[in-house]
Amino acid sequence: MEKTFDKYRAYMKEISHLRSVMSLLSWDQEVNMPENGAVARAEQMAMMSKLYHQRMTNDNFYELLDYLHEQPSLSEFERKNVALTLEDVRKIRKYPESFVTELTHHTSLSYHYWHKAKTEKNFEIFAPYLEKMIALKKQEAEILGYRNTPYDALLNEYDRGLNTEILNKIFTEVKEHLVPFIHHILPYMKDFSFVFRQSYDKSRQWNFVLRMLRTMGFDFHSGRQDISAHPFSIRIAAGDVRITTKNEENDLSEIIWSSIHEAGHALYELGLSSQWEGMPAAEAASLSIHESQSRIWENNVGRGIAFWKYFFPWLQQEFPSQLTDHTLETFYTAMNSVKCSPIRIQADELTYHLHILIRYEIEKEIFENNLSVNQLPTVWNEKYRQYLGIEVQHEAEGILQDVHWSHGSFGYFPTYSLGSFYAAQFYAKAAIDIPELEIQISQGNFQSLLQWLRDHIHIHGRMLTSEEICRNATGEGLNFRYFFTYVSDKYESLIKKISV
């Protein structure tokens, strides 16, 4: 193999084609595929991921990277790309093949028994598989290496540089500030969910959402939206980023905020460089930053009064009999209501982070103090009582509610909260840099905000860590104060209105 940067670039582009094909197969599986295609599809995916693995671990490629990253002729930008890829490749090469086979095999078993356990509301069915999964993840942490605790190795997989030291600090603030604040506002909350829970024609919902996404800046020449059981976004390639949503006749809120959320992810992917396709410069920085981009649109923008000053009249036009009698204020109050509930994915903007706090504390106990699997349901239920004041009714709405642990995704949950906290910090800075921001939003003009995100976040790809992107964009590292200021301002004024 010729040892030049162009060779590396061309090779990475080919690898990215393999990834595109895998993404397309998986998108099709979720959106279009008839169920009897599942067996063949699983084989196709396994084959593709084998090819991908072979390419990434190829000895000649490794030599090329090893040679290139020492070359003085490379620019800073080129060297950084090569160094990041080298880091990826070294990591993949650390895994013994027997371990990969065992983990892949166990993951599909474990998912199967988690699903069965959830359906039967019985944790004991899943427990032995979870126990083995935890053992494998502990082994993985040893393979990857870490400085302080094995949990750090797992956190790093989702957000490079993230560790328990950073998270302990953040979640201590969540406990000290957010928990009491939630309990302070709860008595004022009234249930306005009846606004969303009427009969809304599905095709009219769909049309409204398409118009809304277009106005936000989602380009349907570079993406599309479909229906799937669980909303998601997926990058197929530069210029082809797809999102899905759920369309419920009796709940208008489902399609609106899941579409805005997924469009936020898609706008990020579309903002990454198409010129460097396949290279770290054109990849997302981390899961936390990815989530910050979905949540800034979903919450800071999409649950704000300015956004709905523009869109609510459209929505009323689309659904006159359901919405004419409701004011913008009622609609705004309905979308921002806070209520302690047992299910994470149904949680509001505030209590959501208590669900994550609970999972973070439990994961840490598992990996730092060997908390045993048979104690998990009790510990889970106690924490829900302590933080949310909730009695968990059965295990399907308790310990078994999330799929993540069955996949072995320990260390994933915290990135959801970090996403919201980064989002608040980015939004606060964008509002300073764009003094007219709220006025523009209330006029349906999202151009400056999107450009700000492109210039400060998207442009870096994976060349900077989450923390570096944050410092660059806002002048300081992640600071929980921005999120807390955002929610306290919003909810103090909301409860004033409700109490009148």
Please report, as residue ranges, which positions from 107 to 136 form the binding site for Zn ion (by CB under 5 A).
Answer: none
Judged by CB under 5 A, which stretch of 56-64, 65-73, 210-218, 287-295 contacts Zn ion? 287-295
For the CB of residue 439, give the shortest distance to Zn ion in the complex, in Å: 28
Judged by CB under 5 A, which stretch of 15-23, 113-121, 293-301, 340-348 contacts Zn ion? 293-301
For the CB of residue 85, give the shortest distance to Zn ion in the complex, in Å: 26
Identity of the residue, 179 or 423, whose beta carbon is nearer to Zn ion in the bound complex: 423
Measured distance CA(295)–CA(420) in Å, rounded: 6
For the CB of residue 261, give the shortest distance to Zn ion in the complex, in Å: 6
For the CB of residue 331, give the shortest distance to Zn ion in the complex, in Å: 24
258 touches Zn ion by CB under 5 A: no
HSE-up of residue 3 (Cα within 13 Å, Cβ side):
13
Task: Say if residues 31 and 228 touch (Cβ distance below 8 Å).
Answer: yes
Task: Say if residues 496 and 490 touch (Cβ distance below 8 Å).
Answer: no
HSE-up of residue 297 (Cα within 13 Å, Cβ side):
30
Judged by CB under 5 A, which stretch of 27-35, 275-283, 292-300, 360-368 contacts Zn ion? 292-300
Judged by CB under 5 A, which stretch of 106-114, 290-298, 398-406, 463-471 contacts Zn ion? 290-298
For the CB of residue 38, give the shortest distance to Zn ion in the complex, in Å: 25
Identity of the residue, 351 or 381, whose beta carbon is nearer to Zn ion in the bound complex: 351
Instruction: Select from 372, 373, 397 the least CA-distant residue to 384.
Output: 397
Kindly determine how many residues on this chain lie close enough to bind Zn ion according to the rule CB under 5 A. 1
Identity of the residue, 205 or 294, whose beta carbon is nearer to Zn ion in the bound complex: 294
For residue 206, with 0-12 CB atoms within 10 Å meaning exposed, 13-18 middle and 19 or more buried, which class applies?
middle
For residue 478, with 0-12 CB atoms within 10 Å meaning exposed, 13-18 middle and 19 or more buried, which class applies?
buried
Measured distance CA(484)–CA(481) in Å, rounded: 5
For the CB of residue 143, give the shortest distance to Zn ion in the complex, in Å: 28
Single residue of 23, 294, 381, 465 touching Zn ion by CB under 5 A: 294
Q: 3-state DSSP call for residue 223? A: strand
Instruction: Select from 52, 56, 59 the least CA-distant residue to 1.
Output: 59
Measured distance CA(157)–CA(155) in Å, rounded: 5
Identity of the residue, 384 or 412, whose beta carbon is nearer to Zn ion in the bound complex: 412
Extract the tokens encoding 497: 């209105």
Closest residue to Zn ion: CB criterion? 294
For the CB of residue 106, give the shortest distance to Zn ion in the complex, in Å: 26
Q: Is 262 assigned a catalytic role? A: yes
For the CB of residue 421, give the shortest distance to Zn ion in the complex, in Å: 14
CA angle 134, 47, 91 (to 5 degrees): 50
Identity of the residue, 164 or 294, whose beta carbon is nearer to Zn ion in the bound complex: 294
- Concatenated DSSP letters for 279-316? SGGGS-S-HHHHHHHHHIIIIIITTSHHHHHHHHHHHH
Residues, the chain, total? 500
Task: Say if residues 178 and 193 touch (Cβ distance below 8 Å).
Answer: no
Identity of the residue, 294 or 401, whose beta carbon is nearer to Zn ion in the bound complex: 294
What is residue 193's DSSP assignment? Answer: G
Q: Characterize the bridge pairing of strands 223-227 and 240-245.
A: parallel
What burial letters (b/e) apply to 166-181, b meaning 16+ CB within 10 Å? bbeebbebbeebbbeb
Measured distance CA(424)–CA(443) in Å, rounded: 22
Instruction: Select from 171, 229, 228 the least CA-distant residue to 413.
Output: 171
Identity of the residue, 61 or 158, whose beta carbon is nearer to Zn ion in the bound complex: 158
What burial letters (b/e) apply to 71-100, b meaning 16+ CB within 10 Å? eeebeeebbbbbebbbeebeeeeeeeeeee
Judged by CB under 5 A, which stretch of 294-302, 327-335, 357-365, 486-494 contacts Zn ion? 294-302
Identity of the residue, 67 or 232, whose beta carbon is nearer to Zn ion in the bound complex: 232
For the CB of residue 265, give the shortest distance to Zn ion in the complex, in Å: 6
Of residues 78, 140, 262, 269, which has the active-site annotation? 262
Identity of the residue, 189 or 457, whose beta carbon is nearer to Zn ion in the bound complex: 457
Active site residues: 262
Where along the sequence are the contacts to Zn ion (CB under 5 A)?
294
